């Protein structure tokens, strides 16, 4: 569904795409500024420039390093090593509490730099357990990376898919590099399209949210983007972001130097409207730099140079808990600030039912319970308490339990399918209520019932204290 209007001579088209999302998709994208049309007003993102190499030469791309005066994809001021990237992410998380997503988008292709990319993702997952991890790729190496992306907890992947026609692809890409060989023309296009399809399908089958980016190139792919929308939806992608070609001579791209025209706002709106019948369309993309930091529409990357990294990073857990309170307030429109409001943790593999054993959980969903209802705040990745049987007592269980207790120290209750006696006692000793009565039931229903009981109990306690 779309609604289009013209104002100030520029056509604008907005897709009411959230109406077409499932509830699980909507909750996953709500705090992702690059995926959510409303989330980008409240949440910040950070791109880490750790991937300099590329395996595909696009005729609209010219990667530039040590460049601070151009704002477009492929441009960065500083290339980072994985350890520098993790340290910088912690610095930004301390300075921008609205930060919700850390992604790798270049300046080359993240999956053409497997070592640097996955080293960075693993450091981020260990050091910033509450932030979403995101990745953008041309898709050429995606089939080889799906399992590793799942293992490190990447839930959001953007794939640039500009056409399904190998001959059009030959006009868009100069060459690709695969398994030590260089390919051009239609052959390269066929190889790329086959691997993009395979990678997208495998990701979506595993529950990863896949957004499709397409660069609108007048006279080349403008008539085929509807087919891209149709096929991408068939493959399981949930959102299509059609971006206008940037082709200015000063950028030094093939299209820029050859005079390839850029689409105007009216043409862009027309193509988006045509494709919206097949797939939800995104219209708030800012075509950010590969090192962008902050809210969409504001780039604060120049405020965080490597030279400004602190010698000792701040302890992260206080920042995590502070950000959870802020995000709860944003998501609940301030209702989470009421005295009875609280946070709870849920062990769920998909987010819809409570189905995970406490000792086996790899991530907790954190919910805010308040007058606004049951609102998902974020997720927190955690070290597994147990790697064996349901009743295991690992040798380092005390250390793992201490980490989990610290991670969950701001929640009132933990909801899971099962929990052992020892961790049950530990949670209670730290003022956290273990709850297993809702096993295999709807997360929303269980939390709603518990919240009503919690409020009644608090009211009763207040009356007993004479605070009625």
Percent of the chain with pLDDT over 70: 84
Decide if 368 contacts 346 (C-beta within 8 A). no
At 346 the three-state DSSP class reads strand
Which band of pLDDT confidence, cut at 50, 70 and 90, is reported for residue 463?
confident
Give the model's pLDDT for residue 302: 83
Least confidently predicted of 143-147, 210-214, 271-275, 458-462: 458-462
Give the model's pLDDT for residue 51: 92
Decide if 330 contacts 408 (C-beta within 8 A). no
Between residues 336 and 237, the one the model is more confident about: 237
**E-strand spans in 168-318?**
173-178, 181-183, 209-216, 239-244, 281-282, 293-294
At 122-142, the pLDDT tens digits run 999 999 999 999 999 999 999
CA 323 to CA 343: how far, in whole Å? Answer: 12
Class (C level, CATH) for 316-386+394-466: alpha beta
The single residue listed with the structure tokens 């030590």 is 180
The single residue listed with the structure tokens 């606004």 is 372
Give the model's pLDDT for residue 67: 40
Residue 464 token pair: 């007993």
Give the model's pLDDT for residue 10: 32
Give the model's pLDDT for residue 176: 96
At 358-385, the pLDDT tens digits run 989 999 999 999 988 999 988 999 877 7
- Same CATH topology for 23-295 and 316-386+394-466: the answer is no
At 30-51, the pLDDT tens digits run 766 666 666 556 788 899 999 9
At 68-95, the pLDDT tens digits run 444 445 566 788 999 999 999 999 999 9
Strands 156-160 and 209-216: parallel
Residue 293 pLDDT greater than 50, yes or no = yes
Reported pTM: 0.85
At 193-239, the pLDDT tens digits run 999 999 999 999 998 999 999 999 999 999 999 999 999 999 999 89
CA 351 to CA 329: how far, in whole Å? Answer: 21
Domain positions in the chain:
23-295, 316-386+394-466
Which band of pLDDT confidence, cut at 50, 70 and 90, is reported for residue 191?
very high
Give the model's pLDDT for residue 14: 39
CATH topology assigned to domain 23-295: TIM Barrel (3.20.20)
86-113 average pLDDT score: 92
Residue 387 pLDDT greater than 70, yes or no = no
CA 135 to CA 122: how far, in whole Å? Answer: 13
Report the phi/psi class of residue 315: left, alpha or beta, with left for phi > 0 and alpha for psi in -120 to 50. beta
Residue 35 token pair: 């995926």
């Amino acid at each position: 569904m779309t609604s289009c209007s013209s104002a100030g001579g520029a056509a604008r088209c907005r897709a009411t795409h959230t109406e077409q999302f499932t509830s699980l998709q909507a909750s996953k994208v709500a705090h992702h500024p690059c995926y959510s049309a409303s989330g980008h007003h409240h949440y910040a993102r950070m791109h880490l420039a750790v991937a300099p190499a590329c395996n595909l030469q696009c005729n609209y791309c010219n990667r530039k390093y040590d460049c601070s005066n151009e704002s477009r994809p492929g441009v960065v001021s500083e290339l980072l090593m994985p350890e520098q990237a993790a340290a910088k992410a912690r610095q930004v998380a301390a300075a921008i509490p609205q930060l919700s997503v850390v992604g790798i988008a270049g300046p080359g292709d993240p999956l053409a730099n497997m070592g640097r990319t996955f080293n960075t993702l693993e450091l981020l997952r260990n050091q910033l357990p509450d932030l979403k991890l995101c990745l953008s790729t041309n898709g050429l190496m995606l089939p080889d990376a799906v399992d590793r992306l799942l293992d490190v907890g990447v839930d959001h992947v953007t794939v640039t898919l500009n056409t399904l026609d190998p001959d059009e692809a030959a006009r868009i890409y100069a060459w690709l590099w695969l398994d030590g060989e260089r390919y051009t023309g239609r052959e390269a296009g066929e190889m790329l399209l086959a691997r993009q399809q395979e990678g997208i399908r495998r990701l979506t089958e595993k529950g990863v949210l896949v957004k499709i980016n397409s660069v609108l190139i007048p006279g080349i792919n403008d008539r085929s983007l509807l087919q891209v929308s149709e096929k991408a939806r068939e493959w399981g992608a949930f959102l299509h972001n059609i971006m206008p070609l940037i082709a200015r001579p000063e950028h030094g791209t093939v299209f820029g130097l050859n005079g390839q025209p850029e689409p105007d706002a009216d043409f862009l709106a027309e193509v988006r409207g045509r494709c919206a019948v097949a797939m939800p369309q995104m219209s708030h993309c800012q075509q950010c730099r590969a090192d962008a930091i902050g809210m969409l529409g504001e780039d604060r990357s120049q405020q965080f140079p490597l030279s400004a990294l602190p010698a000792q990073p701040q302890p992260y857990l206080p920042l995590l808990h502070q950000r959870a309170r802020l995000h709860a307030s944003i998501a609940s429109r301030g209702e989470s600030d009421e005295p009875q409001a609280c946070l709870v943790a849920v062990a769920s593999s998909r987010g819809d039912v409570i189905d995970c054993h406490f000792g086996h959980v790899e991530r907790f969903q954190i919910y805010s319970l308040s007058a606004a209802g049951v609102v998902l705040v974020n997720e927190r990745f955690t070290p597994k308490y147990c790697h064996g049987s349901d009743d295991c007592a690992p040798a380092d269980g005390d250390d793992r339990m201490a980490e989990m207790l610290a991670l969950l120290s701001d929640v009132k209750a933990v909801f899971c399918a099962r929990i052992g006696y020892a961790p049950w006692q530990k949670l209670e000793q730290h003022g956290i209520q273990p709850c297993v009565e809702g096993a295999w039931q709807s997360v929303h229903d269980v939390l709603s019932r518990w919240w009503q009981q919690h409020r009644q109990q608090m009211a009763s306690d207040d009356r007993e204290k004479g605070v009625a």
